[in-house]
Structure 1
Amino acid sequence: MTKFISWNVNGLRAAIKHGFLQVFNEMDADFFCIQETKLAPGQLDLDLPDYHQYWNYAEKKGYSGTAIFAKQPPLSVQYGINVPEFDHEGRVITLEYPDFYLINTYVPNSGAELKRLDFRHGFNEAFYEYVNQLSQQKSIVWCGDLNVAHQEIDLKNPQSNHHHPGFTDEERFDFSKLLKSGFTDTFRYFYPDQEHSYSWWSYRFHARQRNAGWRIDYFVASADLDSQLVDAKIHDQILGSDHCPVELDIQL
């Protein structure tokens, strides 16, 4: 069995002060993907002797960024999606293995007053084209902070948050469109009706204590892998960020 973890750490240096390395070591994942590293090259040297490290940094300091820590070296690594407009914020890393691609993504937030909704939609379109091209070659395991609660069951207060960033009709439609093209939301594959399972909580209004959250962190896999899926988990008891880690176990 292969164990994948994804976690938006909301600043890796801050997360390390709040126990990131202990969580990392205890989870002992084969692949550990993180988003929102908020690092520039050379700012942090992580000693992870059992892992190969792959980093994609944003040009803007202290912003965005992704990383993958993998026990097995890949056949190839790609940073970005070959679209310059969307490749300057360190949002995508793709590792190629003999039987699958692993894609770690920090999808753009639509922002206050939806000022970046058009940028987000453009990213979605370009990214989905990229993923569908790769999926013609081999299976896909795609993870990250996708910044969308897909269905009403995926957030605490769907009515009051309708048309807010992460729960607009446009963002939800885009995600549905991708899934319908041959992909599986792995958590919902195992737990289609499970309520109150969230991966992000605002720092405001004691949201985490009240479990007033959103499920916006995902593992999405090619539908041809459905029979090999073992389990999907949300580790909502793990602190250290406003997000918690999510997990996919798969027989590859």
Structure 2
Amino acid sequence: MKIVSFNVNGLRSILSKNLKEFISSDNSDIYCFQETKMQLDDSFKEFSISYPYIYYSNAIKKGYSGTLIISKIKPLSVTYGINDKYNDEGRIITFELDDFYLVNVYTPNSKKELLRLPYRMIFEDDLKEYLVSLKKKKNVILCGDLNVAHKEIDIKNPKNNLRSAGFTIEERNKFSTLLDEGFIDTFRYFHKDEVKYSWWSYMFNARKNNAGWRIDYFVVNKEFISRCKDSEILNEVMGSDHCPIKLTLLD
């Protein structure tokens, strides 16, 4: 099984670019999208022949946030948010299969001057508690734009970004705390010292110069890592300020 996570930074925009072609050539089993920035409309039907199982969580505010899962595989259940929290911003979809939960997450950005950092910290605590509770039932795959570069290797210019949203010690410590609960960053597990990024600013030719951040992740509980074959960053795929990431599971 292959699962792709992709912050598309606007689904309607990337549909007019190369998303359909990417999905057609990549042909993974499940796609998890973040920052869809749209309400439900006929655009979702583009996928329905090959991916008949479509689940979305939209923000109340139009043109903001939003998550989406399209799948070839029928889920056992689908839930939204965490006990109905965070549905107003469409940030979490949980997709249950036979042997694992797939949790598609778009973590809140702490914003300029870290205005949303307190909200972000509450979100992180709630998410960790939720994932730990799921792990007691079956295996867990967390994927999405987690809006944090965990280590200095995960960001091009660490020293210049110590108080930038996504690289504060508070955010990085929250991610460490999640891993301490028995979860594994799959890319770093398979590619210990590889420098690769998943997001680049649109300014200063950042992508051309590969001045990026690794803020998109597949995270699994440690008992499930033996089921994982590889975790990749597909940085050749364009269309967004992020690139897709892929987790391949053993049959």
Aligned to 1:157: 157
Q: CA deviation at 1:72?
A: 0.8
TM score, norm. by length of structure 1: 0.97
Residue 96 of structure 2 corresponds to which residue in structure 1? 96
The answer to whether 1:199 aligns with 2:194 is no
Query: Which segments of 5 or more consecutive residues in structure 2 lack a partner in the other structure?
Result: none
CA separation in 1, counterparts of 2:162 and 2:84? 30
- Which residue in 2 is equivalent to 1:168? 168
Instruction: Please tell me whether residue 116 in structure 1 is matched to residue 116 in structure 2.
Output: yes
Deviation at 1:83, TM superposition (A): 4.8
Distance 1:113 1:163 in 2: 9
Deviation at 1:42, TM superposition (A): 2.6
The code of the aligned residue for 1:163 comes to: R
Distance apart, 1:154 and its partner CA: 0.1
Contact 1:83/1:126 (8 A) holds in 2: no
1:66 partnered with 2:67: yes
**Structure 2 Cα separation of the partners of residues 34 and 179 of structure 1:** 23
* DSSP 3-state at the match of 1:102: strand
Provide the residue aligned with 2:58 in structure 1: 57
- Segments of 5+ residues of structure 1 without an aligned counterpart are none
Residue number in structure 1 paired with 2:189: 189
Aligned residues: 249
Query: Residues 9 and 240 of structure 2 are in contact (CA less than 8 Å); yes or no, is this contact kept in structure 1?
Result: yes
- Residues 19, 8 of structure 1: CA spacing in aligned structure 2 closer, same or farther, 3 A cutoff? same
The residue number in structure 1 matching 2:21 is 22
Q: In the aligned structure 2, how far is the partner of 1:41 from the partner of 1:53?
A: 11
TM-aligned CA deviation for residue 43 of structure 1: 6.2
Secondary structure of the residue that 1:248 maps to in structure 2? Answer: strand
Does 34-43 or 6-15 show the bigger shift?
Answer: 34-43
Give 2:60's aligned amino acid: E
RMSD between superposed Cα atoms in Å: 1.0
Match of 2:240 in 1: 241
Alpha-carbon distance in 1 for matches of 2:23, 2:120 = 30
Q: Secondary structure in 2 aligned to 1:47? A: helix
Distance in 2, Cα, partners of 1:18 & 1:189:
33
- Structure 1 residue ranges, 4+ long, deviating more than 3 angstroms after superposition: none
Superimposed CA distance per residue, residues 140-174 of structure 1 (whole angstroms, 9 cap, x where no aligned partner): 01100000000000000000011100000000000
The residue matched to 1:134 in structure 2 has which SS? helix
Q: Which residue of 1 aligns with 2:36?
A: 37
Please give the per-residue CA displacement for 1:216-249, whole angstroms capped at 9, x wherever unaligned: 0000011001112101111111100000000110
3-state DSSP of counterpart to 2:15 = helix
Alpha-carbon separation, structure 2, partners of 1:104 and 1:213: 22
Distance 1:247 1:111, change over 3 A: same
Give the letter for the 1:38 counterpart.
K
Normalising by structure 2, what TM-score?
0.97
| Identity in percent | 49
What SS class does the counterpart of residue 179 from structure 1 fall into?
A: helix
What's the counterpart of residue 11 of structure 2? 12
